[in-house]
A and B are shown apart, each in its own frame.
Chain A
């Protein structure tokens, strides 16, 4: 799990030195500059959107959901792997999660932040987003509790809040380590404040672990519920291609699938550039790849079931929707998703491939593309030709759509670069426990 020859001192030193001692490298600076540039592009795109309205995007009737919702579902799906790794694998005593949980949780937070932005921008008047919340307004009105769109507000809001609490609580002991290892006074002060005065007391540790395990237990049903609620945004509607009972489990599997793809996309370069091969070993990558393969097969099963159900329903609108996906104007997107999500991941069956970081990185990137395309197909092909041919239409994304999508990468990557620079990317306290247990086991 951890390369031999490490003890608690070397682990502490190695992980904290990335933040405290390593100078700002050219690679980091270059990466951050690109990410920050994209973030600025996002600002421009949002600014223009706020000035002109949602008409700058390609959305119209019949396709009113477009990129904003595709991006929302994609980003929030990516978040799920972080919670899966940090909560479910913790409760299942999968010790290998220790060295990747911190950055996977950070990935979750940043992905959910990107996700949350899109439905708000899609509101048309984002500045009155608070109308979605229950508050005593002058009209005496309340949110419509029977609407999945309102459920979504609470599901995503809770998810972001609980993920943030879980992430921060888990980091407090490490922040104390950073405080005690920091050399310069201002750095000591900042870590000292956010470490809350943690001193590693045995009583504190006991309460800390009780709280941490309970938070993991609370986050676990969120992994299943958030994307289920997101899928209900679709499944509760009558539109062919959306109105389907398989959506919640199929969305959850897809979320974990795309999330692990993003974990691999990030873990492979990070372990290389920061020399963390001792902690994020080939075994970690292999395990992530296996989960990606398993959830990928579940997603493939979802595609097959969707096709079968539309044939079995004998509903002509549903059958047309399926044929339109496969052969219609958006057929290239459909075949791209089949290629990326169903065919490419099959390579992971071979041990040679799943132990090769470079190839895994490429597969993971393709899965990311495939899962984005899947959401595009679900949103756009279902809406653009539903019941009445006279109401059919074609959806085209505008440059502002693309700028917002690429800009959200900028937001995600900027946050990630800053995280790697200022916070310990691997849980030091948990690594110390892991090494102690490993030593005891080998005795």
Chain B
């Protein structure tokens, strides 16, 4: 097998073809693969074996940390660190602490969504082997791609190419490392 090969990539014109190809490849036993599309295609991520994302969990944790931080900051500063009697109001006047607690919750959760999504996607990542294929420019415009990666145990240049051809793609590209 060639050393500098990242994988074989099939190019499709329609989202349904990509979905069928992804399902077919998974059934044929391929595991290390990825599908690329200009906008989200429902079901493709599941078809290549990616069924669950932990983004919601990260956002939940971010929100909880935000709520605790927001309330804790107000409690600590107004009750512990610098108790100040303003018009006889209780030091721990919790209803007045609600708005900022809410804002902190939303702010931290939003940052968790942004950073969590990017980190789990390993972005920013300006270089990736798939970009070596000139036709891949179309993956952000009109075309759909399925890439079977060479690191898959089942990958074999000849048989994998045959398999991809059986899916009826527009073209098959060799992706170099």
Contact = CB atoms under 8 A, between A and B. Distances in A.
B106 A177 contact: no
A387 to B, nearest CB: 19
Interface string B78-112: 10011000100100010011011011101101110
A157 B110 CA distance: 13
A145 interface: yes
Nearest to B52: A206
A229 B99 CA distance: 8
A202 B139 contact: no
Interface stretch (B123-131, B153-161, B164-172): B123-131
A199 B131 contact: yes
A48 interface: no
Contact of A201 (B15, B35, B78): B35
A197 interface: yes
Interface string A28-50: 00000000000000000000000
B53 interface: yes
Interface string A88-130: 0000000000000000000000000000000000000000000
A150 B99 CA distance: 10
B104 A154 contact: yes
B150 interface: no
A165 B110 contact: yes
Contacts of B140: 173, 176-177, 179-180, 198-200
B81 A142 contact: yes
Given A155-B99, A197-B128, A207 B34 contact: no
Interface in A138-185: 140-142, 144-146, 148, 150-151, 154-155, 157-158, 161-162, 165-166, 169, 173, 176-177, 179-181
Nearest to A222: B106
A218 interface: yes
Interface in A216-243: 218-219, 221-222, 225, 229
B144 to A, nearest CB: 9
A160 to B, nearest CB: 10
A193 B126 contact: yes
A202 B103 contact: no
Given A12-B142, A142-B82, A200-B140, A210 B100 contact: no
Nearest to B124: A196
A134 interface: yes
Contacts of B82: 140-142
A209 interface: yes
Given A202-B48, A207-B53, A218-B109, A429 B39 contact: yes
The bracket for how many chain B residues form the interface is 35 or more
A429 B141 CA distance: 9
Contacts of B117: 169, 207-208, 210-211
Interface in A32-82: none
B177 interface: no
Interface residues of A, number: 59
B59 A214 contact: yes
Nearest to B114: A165
Nearest to A236: B96
A173 B138 CA distance: 13
Contact of B141 (A142, A181, A210, A433): A181
Contacts of A196: 118, 123-126
Most buried by B among A134, A162, A203, A229: A203
A140 B83 CA distance: 11
B130 A199 contact: yes
B55 A215 contact: no
Contact of B37 (A144, A177, A205): A205
B107 A161 contact: yes
B118 to A, nearest CB: 7
Given A201-B35, A207-B117, A432-B39, A151 B100 contact: yes
A436 interface: yes
B110 A206 contact: no
Contacts of A173: 38-39, 140
Contacts of A134: 73, 77
Interface in B13-53: 15, 22, 34-41, 44-45, 48, 50, 53
Contacts of B106: 158, 162, 218, 221-222
B19 to A, nearest CB: 10
A232 to B, nearest CB: 8
Given A8-B142, A134-B77, A180-B137, A203 B34 contact: yes
Contacts of A166: 110
Given A151-B99, A196-B118, A210-B56, A202 B36 contact: yes
B59 to A, nearest CB: 5
A221 B102 CA distance: 10
Nearest to B75: A145
B113 interface: yes
Nearest to B106: A218
B77 to A, nearest CB: 4
A219 B107 CA distance: 10
Contacts of A12: 38, 141-142
A200 B111 CA distance: 22
7 contacts: A8-B39, A134-B73, A144-B86, A176-B140, A205-B44, A210-B56, A211-B116
Given A154-B99, A154-B104, A169-B114, 5 more contacts: A145-B100, A165-B111, A208-B121, A214-B109, A429-B38
What are the 9 closest A-B residue pairs judged by CB atoms, nearest first?
A196-B124, A211-B117, A142-B77, A210-B55, A206-B45, A202-B35, A197-B125, A146-B96, A205-B40
